[in-house]
Amino acid sequence: MTIENNTAAKKAEKLVAVKGMNDILPPSVPRTEKLPDSALWQWFETSVRQVMASYGYQYLLTPIVEPTALFVRGLGEVTDIVEKEMYSFTDSMNGDKLTLRPEATAGIVRAMNEHNALYNGPLRLWTIGAMFRHERPQKGRYRQFHQLDVEALGYAGPDVDAEMILMARSLWRALGLVEGQHVRLEINSLGQPEERKQHRDALVAYFGQHQEQLDEDSQRRLHTNPLRILDSKNPAMQALIEGAPRLMDFLGEASRAHFDAVRAVLDAVGLEYRVNTRLVRGMDYYNLTVFEWVTDQLGSQGTVCGGGRYDGLIGQLGGKPAPAVGFGLGIERLLLLLQELKLPVPDAAPHAYAVVPPGTPLPPVMALLEQLRAAGVRVQQHAGGADGPGSFKSQFKKADASGARFALIFGGDELAQGQVSVKPLRGGEQVLRPLADVSSWATSLL
Ligand code: ATP
Ligand code: MG
């Protein structure tokens, strides 16, 4: 092998992540791509847990891999996801057709059907996890991304539709986002299948009269799924779409009343929204209420959260028919938004950094740090390599970089007197504290 070939082979060997699939790194690791860091991520998760608990939603986990048929049956064959975005493969051991989940709802419904979970009454559920779609990677659009997914199964009334929307608002508030300013709510009603059918006929007639203006995707959809033409992002088609018959005008009395009831709650709590009669969502399973939370700050990846009612899906996937409503929130997109807005994130840095000069006996130091941690203090201990802990100076540099407010200095003299020096790193007086009575001073570090 020539030298050149050899380096080429080495290069080819370099192991990197799959395109469009990202590492979420700790803040201290420099990142090349604009992505949220893990501190932001954890803060999001903490906020989510609090909000979910405050509405009485229970957490669950379902597998990342599901039978391909689940998504084909659940999402509809003529959807972007099923047509071209699914990571599907054949299990080489047994020939099963499998898919990496592109969304969470179908898996959750499958699980609840399988365990007869709705037998004892309705359920409010949430999960967080990775989803996979083979799309063109760009800012806010990835091949592996994460969703918060919230579902209420077995509830028919508009109260739960409104609750879903209010929960999202509570989450925005917990994270410091202002609704109406950073994120805006759009809602629509897709009515019931019979109303959709009448609207569909009108759509086919309308677009059929203007066939020459349809792009290739829309030509194909004209007879398979004309409603999805309204979802087209092609700027050249917008004028045509603007003039299309509105589903809203085909809603019967019951659908209209359901929609009005949702709106009445939003109005009562002063939540502003826009009725967007062109909002249709990407999956076939939706009916009645659909909604999206959108932002103007992320370019064309502007939808951070989308959901709606899907009363037919549970039955369609083999369960005893029951109504349901839910939403999915794109975590990367939302965190990019928080990052862009530079909203303050609660400090997760250690309260204190333990400086351990060379030669310090470790057992009493580590025993003390354990007591501090038990008292709720976040302490990062300086840890050395095989050659020892490193100089005083380099340890202080690390203490500074850690973001801690205090350095705990375990010098030989102090230890001999049963004490430790507490040095504020952002101004203030250094003090001595007794090792024997941690509880008397631990809280001063918080
Ligand atoms: P879009 O119109 O942007 O493709 P979608 O309608 O396909 O979104 P949903 O299936 O409703 O998206 O998923 C819910 C949320 O998940 C979206 O609102 C978005 O925030 C996020 N999301 C969807 N696809 C991706 C992706 N490829 N990368 C990152 N986030 C995504
Ligand atoms: Mg999509």
What pLDDT is stored for residue 397 in this prediction? 92
C-beta 85 within 6 A of ligand 1 = no
Write down which residue in 341, 361, 383 finishes a domain.
341
Sheet with strand 87-90: strands edge to edge:
65-67, 97-100, 87-90
What pLDDT is stored for residue 27 in this prediction? 87
Q: Clarify whether residues 276 and 187 are in a common domain.
A: yes
Q: Clarify whether residues 393 and 301 are in a common domain.
A: no
What pLDDT is stored for residue 386 in this prediction? 67
Instruction: Output the domain CATH number for residue 49.
Output: 3.30.930.10
Handedness of CA 263, 267, 271, 273 (dihedral sign): positive
pLDDT at 164 over 60: yes
The answer to whether residue 244 is domain-embedded is no
The answer to whether residue 392 is domain-embedded is yes
Per-residue b or e along 105-114, where b marks 16 or more CB atoms closer than 10 Å to that residue's CB: bbbbbbbbbe
Structural domain harbouring 72 = 38-192+252-341
Write down which residue in 321, 341, 361 finishes a domain.
341
pLDDT at 3 over 60: no
Pocket test for ligand 1, best of 105, 303, 309, 313 (most atoms within 8 A of CB): 303
Q: Which two tokens stand for residue 185?
A: 């709510």
Q: Clarify whether residues 279 and 362 are in a common domain.
A: no
What pLDDT is stored for residue 434 in this prediction? 96
Distances 248 to 25, 40, 240, 312 between C-alpha atoms, Å: 45, 40, 17, 20
pLDDT at 262 over 70: yes
Q: Which two tokens stand for residue 446?
A: 């918080």
Give the lowest-confidence range in 142-156, 217-231, 235-249: 217-231
pLDDT in tens, 71-119: 999 998 888 899 899 999 999 999 999 999 999 999 999 999 999 999 9
pLDDT in tens, 286-327: 899 999 999 999 888 899 999 999 999 999 999 999 999 999
Instruction: Output the domain CATH number for residue 425.
Output: 3.40.50.800
Question: What proportion of the chain, given as a percentage, has pLDDT over 70?
Answer: 96
What pLDDT is stored for residue 134 in this prediction? 97
Mean pLDDT of 114-140: 96
Question: Which-ligand-closest: CA of 84?
Answer: 2
Q: Clarify whether residues 63 and 93 are in a common domain.
A: yes
What pLDDT is stored for residue 1 in this prediction? 47
pLDDT in tens, 326-369: 999 999 999 999 999 988 888 888 999 999 988 888 899 999 99
Write down which residue in 299, 315, 341 finishes a domain.
341
Q: Clarify whether residues 68 and 135 are in a common domain.
A: yes
**Å from CA of 89 to ligand 2 middle:** 21
Q: What angle is formed at CA 250 by the lines to CA 195 and CA 316, rounded to 5 degrees? A: 20
Residues annotated within a binding site for L-histidine = 103-105, 133, 147, 151, 281, 285-286
DSSP 34-83: ----HHHHHHHHHHHHHHHHHTTPEE----SEEEHHHHHHHH-TTSHIII
Q: Clarify whether residues 433 and 358 are in a common domain.
A: yes
Q: How many CB atoms lie within 10 A of CB 80?
A: 17
Q: Clarify whether residues 298 and 435 are in a common domain.
A: no
Q: Clarify whether residues 331 and 360 are in a common domain.
A: no
Q: Clarify whether residues 120 and 51 are in a common domain.
A: yes
pLDDT at 221 over 50: yes
Nearest to 39 by CA among 51, 54, 29, 49: 29
| CB distance 398 to 383 below 8 Å | no
The answer to whether residue 256 is domain-embedded is yes
Q: Clarify whether residues 365 and 407 are in a common domain.
A: yes
pLDDT at 6 over 90: no
C-beta 307 within 6 A of ligand 1 = no
Could you tell me which residue, 128 or 2, shows the higher pLDDT?
128
The answer to whether residue 346 is domain-embedded is no
Q: Clarify whether residues 265 and 315 are in a common domain.
A: yes
The answer to whether residue 20 is domain-embedded is no
For ligand 1, atom 26, which residue shows the shortest CA distance? Answer: 141
Reported as a pLDDT band with limits 50, 70 and 90, residue 12 is low
C-beta 101 within 6 A of ligand 1 = no
Question: What proportion of the chain, given as a percentage, has pLDDT over 90?
Answer: 78
Mapping DSSP onto H, E and C, the string for 170-214 reads: HHHHHHCCCECCCEEEEEEECCCHHHHHHHHHHHHHHHHHCHHHC
C-beta 135 within 6 A of ligand 1 = yes
The answer to whether residue 398 is domain-embedded is yes
Averaged confidence pLDDT in the chain: 92
Provide the domain count of the chain: 2
The answer to whether residue 320 is domain-embedded is yes
Residue 16: how many CA atoms within 13 Å on its side-chain side?
6
Beta strand 406-409 pairing with 379-381: unpaired
Q: Clarify whether residues 335 and 365 are in a common domain.
A: no
Q: Which residues are CB-neighbours of 2 under 8 A, at least 6 positions away? A: none
pLDDT at 38 over 60: yes
Q: Which residues are CB-neighbours of 171 under 8 A, at least 6 positions away? A: 47, 48, 51, 329
The answer to whether residue 10 is domain-embedded is no
**Taking the complete model, does pTM exceed 0.75, yes or no?**
yes
pLDDT in tens, 396-414: 999 999 999 999 999 989 9
- What is the enclosing helix (H) or strand (E) of 271? none
Mean pLDDT of 215-231: 88
What pLDDT is stored for residue 290 in this prediction? 97
